[in-house]
Amino acid sequence: MPRHSVVALVAMTGLSLVSFASFASVVSLANAGQKVASHSKELARIRNVVAREFGCRDLSRTDAKAILGLRMPDAFESAGACIHAGGHAISVWVQISCGGDSCRAEGWLFSDVRPVWALPVENDYAISADGRHLFYTRLRPTKSLGTYVVDVARRDLATGVEKSFASCASPAISPGGAWLLCRNEANDVLRIPIDGGKPRLVAKGTGERTWTPYANYFPSAVAFPAASTMEVGMGGSVRYLTWRE
């Protein structure tokens, strides 16, 4: 706002410059509060459609339309939704078509912080336990044809700021929310403090080559069927290891 307009408004309202500044801050905070309330309201609406407290479920065309509205593709093969971070975030994906060795899909993340409309559904992604950060496998092409820099990126859902988090792929969040787990080129399982730090080896891989960036093909993310059990895919086999937070 131009300075002369500020002075005129101060004169009309009888506010001092200090009190006007305070008034402007209150308005700014109120607007921010309205946005947060709007995101929370939208999340509650979608949670009501998904109708579950945790896990994932398939969506009918009617449910997908109720959630996505005009965002929904005209034709698709299947759709689904997953609850994250204790209900603070819900991801919705639509598989449009599959052919050859790849599928075309679109995804969205709704949260009480801010929605992310372009969810990276082609690769594994994970949401922090507080629902404030999105982690996903990121591919960046280099000058050499067919080669990529691969890392796990972390996006702040409130600000949209994104940065590299670790040189690995296939992120997953530990049951207690304190660790991010990922896989390297040798299929090893690594864990990193959720706020960042040095990777630590959790389990050695088989060394089998399942790292093919140009085809979005990486070792699968670990899973936790129970708080003390980690499920690790190793090529065509699965190992169950004891997990300690």
| Residue 7 covered by a domain | no
List beta partners, residue 234.
237
Which residues have C-beta within 8 Å of that of residue 196, sequence separation ≥ 6? 165
Residue 14 pLDDT more than 60? no
CATH number at 206 reads 2.120.10.30
Give the three-class secondary structure for 60. Answer: coil
Q: How far apart are CA 213 and CA 225, in angstroms?
A: 28
| Average pLDDT over the chain, rounded to an integer | 81
How do residues 179-233 score in pLDDT, each as one tens digit? 999 999 989 999 999 999 999 999 998 767 778 887 778 899 999 999 999 999 8
| Residue 97 covered by a domain | yes
| Residue 69 covered by a domain | yes
Expressed as residue numbers, the domain containing 154 is: 123-245
Between 33 and 189, residue with greater pLDDT: 189
> Which residue, among 40, 43, 3, 45, has the nearest Cα to 21 in the 3D structure?
3
Residue with tokens 């009309």: 12
Q: Where are the beta strands (DSSP E) in 112-147?
A: 125-127, 133-141
Report the C-alpha dihedral over residues 159, 165, 170, 171, rounded to 10 degrees: -70
How do residues 96-130 score in pLDDT, each as one tens digit? 887 766 678 888 998 888 776 778 766 689 999 99
Q: Do 165 and 68 belong to one domain?
A: no
User: Of 94, 122, 150, at which residue does a domain stop?
Assistant: 122
Contact 147, 178 (CB under 8 A): no
Across the range 56-70, mean pLDDT stands at 90
Instruction: Average the pLDDT over each of 80-84, 115-119, 163-167, 170-174 and give the range with the smallest value.
Output: 115-119
Q: Go through 136-153 and write b for each residue having 16 or more CB atoms within 10 A of its CB, e for each that does not.
A: bbbbeeeeeeeeeebbbb
Q: Do 85 and 139 belong to one domain?
A: no
| The pLDDT value given to residue 142 | 87
Residue type, 58: D
Between helices 3-13 and 17-50, what is the axis angle to 10°?
100
| The pLDDT value given to residue 51 | 81
User: Of 89, 122, 155, at which residue does a domain stop?
Assistant: 122
Across the range 40-59, mean pLDDT stands at 86
Q: Do 149 and 54 belong to one domain?
A: no
Q: Do 156 and 117 belong to one domain?
A: no
Give just the sign of the alpha carbon dihedral 153, 70, 63, 48. positive
Q: How far apart are CA 173 and CA 3, in angstroms?
A: 50
Number of domains in the chain: 2
Give the three-class secondary structure for 202. Answer: strand
User: Of 90, 122, 154, at which residue does a domain stop?
Assistant: 122
How do residues 77-100 score in pLDDT, each as one tens digit? 899 999 998 888 999 988 888 776
Q: How confident is the model at residue 37 (pLDDT cuts 50, 70, 90)?
A: low
